[in-house]
A and B are shown apart, each in its own frame.
Chain A
């Protein structure tokens, strides 16, 4: 590999580190965008079968080209800027929605050492980046200069800020027991312990000692991405389509891409933080990216499953769940974990 790259390194000279990093970024973003496209198809198919119908099956063999056709349609549509809209911010909204959801992928580890930026404060970086995501929604809602987008964005802001707190506390528990903010180290710390030595690695992952946090993180993740049943942000029957009403063509597509990229991000984070990332569930099978992909796919299925199963939450119920149920549970569990770690019964020594 090294010898193969040597002439290319010499070709670029001092610019090589930048070129190499850009190559890695493309190697992450391009498959991600493909995943996003096919996740939309998977969503329609899964929900279709859950509702005893077939779903899209006309474009290409078994409907497999449907996402490409949708993408083309959106590309060729005209972007309409409403009169009275704040034009600069109107364009900035979708950009700010998608940029953080792509930037967060910089610290996600796909395998041992397979990470774009192996930074020490990876978990903090993720929290910071995901907290910036709300700006896209707020700016889009305000800049549209219309009632429904504005109401939708106000709902989104309140909801995302509320669930971030619970999510942060869940992450603090993970941080406590792995004693590191580096995501690679967090995965590695799950690959040891009594059950791991017995060959049953999946019992030594974080999801057992942190089971309440695992559930809270997953549900908060659904709420953070504004997916059903927490999708009051774009509740069609109340605010038409929330902050996206006035957007058309690619500007709308960017919001769409951001939402699905966030779904994949939350799923992969749940896999990395709670169910052992790329580690194999049993010791006699090798570790690898395959396991991470499998776990992520499962959590993505949970997202779709929840959407097909639950009716939309009423807004006061959402707020109650976030503030009065999740935050107290997570607060208590932080203390429980801290005490557990300091007690003689600690399993993380």
Chain B
């Protein structure tokens, strides 16, 4: 077993353990942190596959932004475990179905030999100076530019929806306008009057 394989097994073991703990941890915050750990190990495995752009973006987007906000919410909520347990049995068939589907998909990938994977030749090894990021960018902005633009449009819609869902104008609420406060000058607040001294 060479060193790379060893690293792969270590990362994979951590990932499987973390993924298991995500669904078995009693504390939701611990579960979210285990999810972060499994993302991290997934990033490591992608690095082994020489997909450094995807690996780093996974850490940047999911670990650095999405999970932070997720933790934010989980920490703020007062989660009642008993209420979460309710309806476990009614949801079980749906969950089991998804689980079976995932197992089938993984079997298709792992058992590629039996499903005619040989028809697809292995990609040629990358030459020196090959930049994963540059190649991905070139493909995204040339061959796949329409799907890419479509995806960005979807994200834009999601963003606008998120804003409109939380935006509400309440009446009778007084709030400060920072830009007005910052742009205030002395002349707006203080008036200097020159007048002669008054006598009693």
Q: Which A residues have a C-beta under 8 Å from some C-beta of B?
A: 86, 89, 119-121, 124-125, 127-128, 131-132, 134-135, 138-139, 142, 150, 154, 157-158, 161, 164, 181, 314, 316-317, 320
Contact = CB atoms under 8 A, between A and B. Distances in A.
B65 A131 contact: yes
Contact of A128 (B29, B59, B176): B59
A135 B179 contact: no
A103 B161 CA distance: 38
B42 interface: no
A316 B68 contact: no
A181 B52 CA distance: 12
Given A120-B52, A121-B56, A164 B64 contact: yes
A150 B71 CA distance: 12
A138 B71 contact: yes
Given A142-B75, A314-B178, 18 more contacts: A89-B33, A120-B52, A121-B133, A124-B57, A124-B133, A128-B64, A131-B59, A131-B60, A132-B59, A135-B68, A138-B71, A142-B71, A154-B72, A157-B72, A161-B68, A317-B178, A317-B182, A320-B178
Q: Specify the main secondary structure of chain B where it touches its partner.
A: helix
Contacts of A157: 68, 71-72
Contact of B75 (A125, A135, A150): A150
Nearest to B182: A317
27 contacts: A86-B29, A89-B33, A119-B52, A120-B133, A121-B52, A121-B56, A121-B132, A124-B52, A124-B53, A124-B56, A124-B60, A127-B60, A128-B56, A128-B57, A128-B59, A128-B60, A131-B60, A134-B64, A135-B36, A138-B68, A138-B72, A139-B33, A142-B75, A157-B68, A316-B176, A317-B182, A320-B179
A157 B32 CA distance: 15
Contacts of B178: 314, 316-317, 320
Contacts of B65: 131, 161, 164
Nearest to A321: B178
Contacts of A138: 68, 71-72, 75
B15 interface: no
Contacts of B29: 86, 89, 142
Contacts of B108: none
Interface string B58-98: 01100111001101100110000000000000000000000
A89 B52 CA distance: 29
B131 interface: yes
A131 B63 contact: yes
A138 B70 CA distance: 12
Interface of B: 27, 29-30, 33, 36, 52-53, 56-57, 59-60, 63-65, 68-69, 71-72, 75-76, 131-133, 176, 178-179, 182
A164 B65 CA distance: 9
Chain A CB within 10 Å — which of B30, B33, B176 has the most? B33
Contacts of A164: 64-65
Contacts of A120: 52, 131-133
A139 B68 CA distance: 10
A181 B30 CA distance: 35
B159 to A, nearest CB: 13
Contact of B63 (A119, A132, A139, A158): A132
A244 B36 CA distance: 23
Contacts of A134: 64, 68
A127 B29 CA distance: 25
A152 B103 CA distance: 43
A31 B182 CA distance: 42
A145 to B, nearest CB: 11
A161 B63 CA distance: 11
Contacts of A317: 178, 182
Nearest to B71: A138
Contacts of B176: 316
Contacts of B76: 154
Contacts of B57: 124, 128
A120 B136 CA distance: 14
What 6 A-B pairs are tightest by C-beta distance, nearest first?
Answer: A131-B64, A128-B60, A128-B59, A124-B56, A128-B56, A320-B178
B156 to A, nearest CB: 13
Nearest to B60: A128
A125 B56 contact: yes
Contacts of A132: 59, 63-64
